[in-house]
Chain A
Amino acid sequence: MATVEHDAELMLRVRDGCSGSFAILLERHRGPVVHFMFRMVQNQAVAEELAQEVFLRVYRSRGSYEPTAKFTTWLYRIATHLALNWLRDGKHERGQQSLDTGAEEGTSARQVADYELTVEQRMVRDSRFVEVRRAIEALPGKQRAAVMMHKYREMEYSHIARVLECSESAVKSLLFRAYQTLRARLAHLG
């Protein structure tokens, strides 16, 4: 709770012209926002571009900022809006060719830590990685966003509901359907 207040306090200082406070907010939320975007759009370059747009919009709106809601609710609402727009506009189709490249990027990032794995183990792990990405990619945008916030950000249903601007029961329904799809596609990996 203190962290939430701190975010709001920092944002109020940003509103008063303190760019150092914005740098702290950026430091705190940069990773989670980029990771959220990466899992949503499944392309690292696009994820970073969209995450920059998120922070740019936060900075641009600093003058009218009022701490009426959690800072992270506002932040993820902007992020989700941008990601869903990107998916809706079909831009992912143009970037689709990079899915396999992206998978390679994702695996190569872990190779340093996984040097102790055998070639076979690495292949199994990489194939799981690609399968999970494809299963997530098959989810409708809003279900995908709900799962990303539930699984990776560990957000409460009420928080996800405020981000997605829907009811808590709608979020539970989204998650139930999303996990149902994922269970059908990924249960064999267990």
Chain B
Amino acid sequence: MAEANRIKRVRREFVPAQCPLTAGEQSAEVLLDFVSRRLEPEAAAVFQKHVDLCPACQAFVGTQSAVWQALDAFEAMPVSEDFDRKLWARIEREEREPWWKRISGFDAIWKPAIAVAAMALVMLGLWMRPAPPPAGTASHAEMNLDVEQIDRTLEDMEMLRELGLVAEAGSARQM
């Protein structure tokens, strides 16, 4: 049914007055199929009649056939003998990996996520850190240290004063 429709379409489209080249890109399908010998024989015969009468289509078919033959020159290389061995080695290596590494794109997804989480933790830590005391106020430890130092200094001064008095009394007796 599809083939019959296609042949009907070819018959309808390829009358000399309606050249497929003037009908747009979509109609060129038949031209390409004709050159690549994919048209059904009946459709190809209808189109051949058009080509015989249409210089534009003759030129198209000529250049397209040249391209088609030129592309045949682009031969592919034979596949390496160790292709399968390398592939099975990759499959085995992948099967040995833990499941979470086997998930495609694990690294691509989790590496940035881990970095973002670390950054969030640092930010949270900074935010929750107790605020430093305002400038000019001393801590309890500093206050205690100062009191002790003053006490010790006063005691030292008292001791020196007493020593000075003893020395004065000694020198008076010698006189």
Task: Report if B164 contacts A (CB, 8 A).
Answer: no
Task: Encode contact with B along A114-150: 1 for CB under 8 Å, 0 otherwise.
Answer: 0000000000010011011100100000000001001
Task: Report if A1 contacts B (CB, 8 A).
Answer: no
- A131 partner residues in chain B, CB cutoff 8 A: 70
Measured between C-beta atoms, what is the minimum distance from B29 to chain A in Å?
5
- B18 partner residues in chain A, CB cutoff 8 A: none
Segment among A4-12, A30-38, A67-75, A79-87 that sits at the interface with chain B: A30-38
Task: Report if B15 contacts A (CB, 8 A).
Answer: no
Task: Report if A59 contacts B (CB, 8 A).
Answer: yes
Which residue on A lies nearest to B76, using beta carbons? A35
Q: B87 contacts which of A35, A38, A55, A183 (Cβ < 8 Å)?
A: A55
Q: Interface majority SS on A: helix, strand, loop or mixed?
A: helix
| Contact residues on B (Cβ < 8 Å of other chain), bracket | 20 to 34
Q: Interface majority SS on B: helix, strand, loop or mixed?
A: helix
User: Given known contacts A56-B91, A186-B67, is B32 in contact with A132 (CB within 8 Å)?
Assistant: no
User: Given known contacts A26-B84, A52-B90, A56-B90, is B77 in contact with A190 (CB within 8 Å)?
Assistant: no
- B29 partner residues in chain A, CB cutoff 8 A: 157, 172
| Contact residues on A (Cβ < 8 Å of other chain), bracket | 35 or more
Cα(A154)–Cα(B84), bound, Å: 26
Q: List 6 A-B contacts (CB under 8 A).
A: A30-B79, A128-B70, A133-B74, A173-B25, A183-B64, A187-B62
A152-B76, A172-B26, A186-B71 given; name 15 further pairs at CB < 8 Å.
Answer: A26-B87, A30-B84, A35-B76, A39-B76, A47-B77, A48-B80, A106-B75, A151-B68, A173-B26, A179-B64, A183-B63, A183-B67, A186-B67, A190-B67, A190-B70
Interfacial residues, chain A to chain B (CB-CB below 8 A): 23, 26, 30-31, 34-35, 38-39, 44, 47-48, 51-52, 55-56, 59-60, 105-106, 109-110, 125, 128-129, 131-133, 136, 147, 150-152, 154, 157, 169, 172-173, 175-177, 179, 182-183, 186-190
